[in-house]
Amino acid sequence: MSAETIATIWAFLIATAVFLYVVMDGFDLGIGILFPWMQDREDRDIAVNTVAPVWDGNETWLILGGGGLFAVFPLAYATILPALYMPLIVMLLALVFRGVAFEMRFRAESDSQRRFWDWSFSGGSIAAAFTQGIALGALVQGIQVEDRAYAGGWWDWLTAYSLFTGVALVAGYGLLGASWLVWKTEGGLQERARDLARVLGLVTLLFIAAVSAIMPFLLPEFRARWFSFPTILLALPVPVLLVLLAVRFFRALEPTPAREAEAARAPDPRLPPEAPPRPTGRVIWHDSVPFFCALGFFLLSYVGLGISMWPLIVPPEITIWDAAAPASTQLFLLVGAAVLLPIILAYTGYVYWIFRGKVRAGEGYH
């Protein structure tokens, strides 16, 4: 394999890792983002319990994104991170707060302590999402590099556009969180999550439209990509699919005959009378559709971003091939990644399977 081919493979792998991070930590950060709209303590506990067994694995994709960038695109790592110094430091500290809050919420010994950790969880999640959005916006606007080092100032990341993408990502993660709760919970909490998902779905779609509309005008390279023939043939399906998916998303949030039938079903005689009937696989399937549609929004936006940036890794100038580590480095890690990533995906999927189904109150954590 040539060095260019290996670097191209790695670019796809790193992009995949970042995307997996975005969708997985996206929904668990989303739970924290939605905390202000979930005042009931039991609701909050259920919501946190839906992600408690998996959040740590979700966040590991962020380390793979950072570690992978260091290993295979070191020039990108060594220029993007100093350029985004402040937003990244704030993001890391925010993740510290909300990460420990998972444990501390349940260890709290008084209401004031619990409020502090709830606040940490929520504030940390919002700040992490916001700074990640800022980082994305600042990256696509371009980073000034001279002589293999960042050459800008420490406030360069702060622009109207990066703040805008920051808010957009908070809304987007909130949407993932809300639609995750539609999937994983029932009753009043699920109804509230449905309402939130409707609003956030609309807001997120508007943000996607606005960010996409501005993006081609940030750099001439982006514009060339989108408005030239034949690239436009490749790019055109993206907005079309997004519209179709949006329709599916909002329809899936309506109650359906399957659900009504479920509600009318006679209670299970083996269960105590006060317990609501156990949802069937069909209901769970139906409740999962909004979440997967929301993932679709993210995937299509991400593909759109990829079409704009390819093959740049640090706009406006550095391509993936400029930033690549020597071929022997990339190959050494690629051999392991080719074996290990499928295994990781398999056991991650298995862990999700173990913790499948709806989570109910008092269900056993801590």
Partner 1 sequence: MLWDAFPSALDLARFQFAFTVTFHFIFPAFTIGLASYLAVLEGLWLWTKREVYLDVFRFWLKIFAVAFAMGVVSGIVMSYQFGTNWSVFADRTAPVLGPLLGYEVLTAFFLEAGFLGVMLFGLGRVGKGLHFTATCLVAIGTLISGFWILSANSWMHTPAGYSIAPDGRFMPEDWWAIVFNPSFPLRFLHTITGAYLTTAMIIGAVAAWHLLRERLRAGMAVPAERLNERAKVMFSMAMWMAAAVAPVQAVFGDLQGLLAFRYQPQKVAAMEGHWETQRGAPLILFGFPDMEREETRMAVSIPRLGSLILTHEWDGEVRGLKAFPPEQRPTNVPLVFWSFRIMVAMGVLMIALGLISLWLRWKGRLYTTPWFLRFAIAMGPSGLIAVTFGWITTEAGRQPYTVYNLLTTAESVSPIAAPAVATSLAMFIVVYFVVFGAGTWYLFRLFGKTPAAHESDIAAEEPIRTAGITPAPQVARRGASGPGRHTVEQRG
Restricting to residues 129-158, name those near partner 1 by CB under 8 A: 148-151, 153-154
Nearest-approach distance from CB 348 to partner 1, in angstroms: 6
User: With respect to partner 1, which residue has the nearer C-beta, 218 or 325?
Assistant: 325
Identify the helix (H) or strand (E) that includes residue 274. Answer: none
Binding test (CB under 8 A) with partner 1, winner from 3, 9, 16, 90: 90
CB atoms within 10 A of CB 130: 23
Distance between CA atoms of 127 and 91, rounded to whole angstroms?
7
For partner 1, what does the binding mask look like between residues 13 and 52, x meaning CB under 8 A? ---------------------------------------x
Phi–psi pair at 311, nearest 5 degrees: -100, 25
Q: Tell whether residue 67 is a contact of partner 1 (CB under 8 A).
A: yes
Burial class (CB in 10 A: 0-12, 13-18, 19+), 321: middle
**Per CB under 8 A, which of residues 219..238 are in contact with partner 1?**
none
CA angle at residue 21 from 108 to 84, to 5 degrees?
90
Query: Can you read off the two tokens belonging to residue 15?
Result: 């992009």
Q: Tell whether residue 111 is a contact of partner 1 (CB under 8 A).
A: no
Nearest-approach distance from CB 200 to partner 1, in angstroms: 25
C-alpha dihedral, 58 to 61 to 66 to 70, nearest 10°: 150
Nearest-approach distance from CB 164 to partner 1, in angstroms: 23
**Per CB under 8 A, which of residues 308..327 are in contact with partner 1?**
325-326
CA distances from 319 to 7, 206, 316, 354 (A): 10, 30, 9, 41
**Per CB under 8 A, which of residues 331..360 are in contact with partner 1?**
332-333, 336-337, 340-341, 344, 347-348, 351, 354-360
Binding test (CB under 8 A) with partner 1, winner from 37, 70, 310, 321: 70
**Per CB under 8 A, which of residues 251..310 are in contact with partner 1?**
268, 270-272, 275, 278-279, 281, 284
N- to C-terminal Cα distance for the chain? Answer: 51
User: With respect to partner 1, which residue has the nearer C-beta, 80 or 169?
Assistant: 80
Burial class (CB in 10 A: 0-12, 13-18, 19+), 330: buried
User: With respect to partner 1, which residue has the nearer C-beta, 10 or 207?
Assistant: 10
Binding test (CB under 8 A) with partner 1, winner from 42, 103, 111, 191: 103
Distance between CA atoms of 267 and 262, rounded to whole angstroms?
10
Distance between CA atoms of 69 and 63, rounded to whole angstroms?
10
Binding test (CB under 8 A) with partner 1, winner from 93, 209, 261, 263: 93
Q: Tell whether residue 66 is a contact of partner 1 (CB under 8 A).
A: yes
User: With respect to partner 1, which residue has the nearer C-beta, 58 or 301?
Assistant: 58
CB atoms within 10 A of CB 100: 15
Q: Tell whether residue 216 is a contact of partner 1 (CB under 8 A).
A: no
Output the CA torsion sign for 238, 244, 250, 255: negative
Nearest-approach distance from CB 316 to partner 1, in angstroms: 19
The residue count for binding partner 1 (CB under 8 A) is 84
Nearest-approach distance from CB 63 to partner 1, in angstroms: 5
Nearest-approach distance from CB 161 to partner 1, in angstroms: 21
Contact status, residue 181 vs residue 34, Cβ threshold 8 Å: yes
Closest CA to 141 of 70, 83, 224, 206: 83
Nearest-approach distance from CB 258 to partner 1, in angstroms: 15
Binding test (CB under 8 A) with partner 1, winner from 7, 38, 54, 178: 54
